[in-house]
Amino acid sequence: MSIDKHCSRRSLLCRLGGGVGALGLAHVFADAGFLAAAPSAAANPLAPRAPHFPARAKRLIFLFMNGGPSHVDTFDPKSALTRHAGQPLPERIRNGMSRRDTTPLLPSPFKTQRYGQSGIEATEIYPEIGRCIDDLCVLRSMYTDNPNHEPGLLLMNSGNMQPIRPSMGSWLTYALGSENQNLPGFIVLCPGRPVVGPQLWSNSFLPGIYQGTHINNRSIDPRTIIRDVNNRYLAPAEQRAQLDLLQRMNQAHLEQRGRDEQLEARIASLEMAYRMQAEAQEAFDISRETQATRRLYGDGEFANACLLARRLAERDVRVIQIYYGNGQPWDDHNDIKNHRTHARASDRAIAALLRDLKSRDLLKDTLVLWGGEFGRTPTAQGQGRDHHHLGFTMWLAGGGVKAGHVHGATDEFGYAAVENRMHVHDLHATMLHLMGLDHERLTYRYSGRDFRLTDVHGRVVREIMA
- For residue range 267-316, list pLDDT tens digits in order: 666 666 666 666 778 898 999 999 999 999 999 999 999 999 999 999 99
The yes-or-no verdict on residue 390 having pLDDT over 50 is yes
Cα–Cα dist 254/268, whole Å: 12
C-beta atoms surrounding 456 within 10 Å = 7
The yes-or-no verdict on residue 389 having pLDDT over 70 is yes
The pLDDT, as a whole number, for residue 104 is 95
Q: Which of 196-205, 226-235, 325-334 has the lowest mean pLDDT?
A: 226-235
Nearest partner of 311 among 329, 338, 331, 289, judged by Cα = 289
The pLDDT, as a whole number, for residue 325 is 85
The pLDDT, as a whole number, for residue 232 is 64
Chain segment 88-135, per-residue pLDDT in tens: 999 888 876 656 667 899 999 999 999 999 999 999 999 999 999 999
Cα–Cα dist 380/87, whole Å: 10
The yes-or-no verdict on residue 9 having pLDDT over 90 is no
**CA triple 105-394-51, angle to 5 deg:** 160
Find how far residue 126's CA is from the centre of its chain: 22
The pLDDT, as a whole number, for residue 23 is 36
The yes-or-no verdict on residue 187 having pLDDT over 80 is yes
Confidence of residue 385 (pLDDT cuts 50, 70, 90): very high
Return the CATH fold of 59-226+285-464: Alkaline Phosphatase, subunit A (3.40.720)
Confidence of residue 261 (pLDDT cuts 50, 70, 90): low
Q: Which of 21-30, 110-119, 149-158, 207-216 has the lowest mean pLDDT?
A: 21-30
Q: Which of 172-181, 184-193, 401-410, 433-442 has the lowest mean pLDDT?
A: 184-193
Q: Say if residue 327 is exposed, middle or buried (CB neighbours under 10 Å; 0-12, 13-18, 19+).
A: middle
Instruction: Supply φ then ψ for residue 213, to 5 degrees.
Output: -90, 110
Cα–Cα dist 134/136, whole Å: 6
The pLDDT, as a whole number, for residue 273 is 64
Chain segment 26-71, per-residue pLDDT in tens: 333 333 444 344 454 446 889 999 999 999 999 999 999 999 999 9
Q: Please give the average per-residue pLDDT across 212-231, as a whole number.
A: 70
Cα–Cα dist 264/37, whole Å: 18
Indicate the average pLDDT of the chain.
87
C-beta atoms surrounding 231 within 10 Å = 13
The pLDDT, as a whole number, for residue 7 is 52
Domain ranges in the chain? 59-226+285-464, 228-283
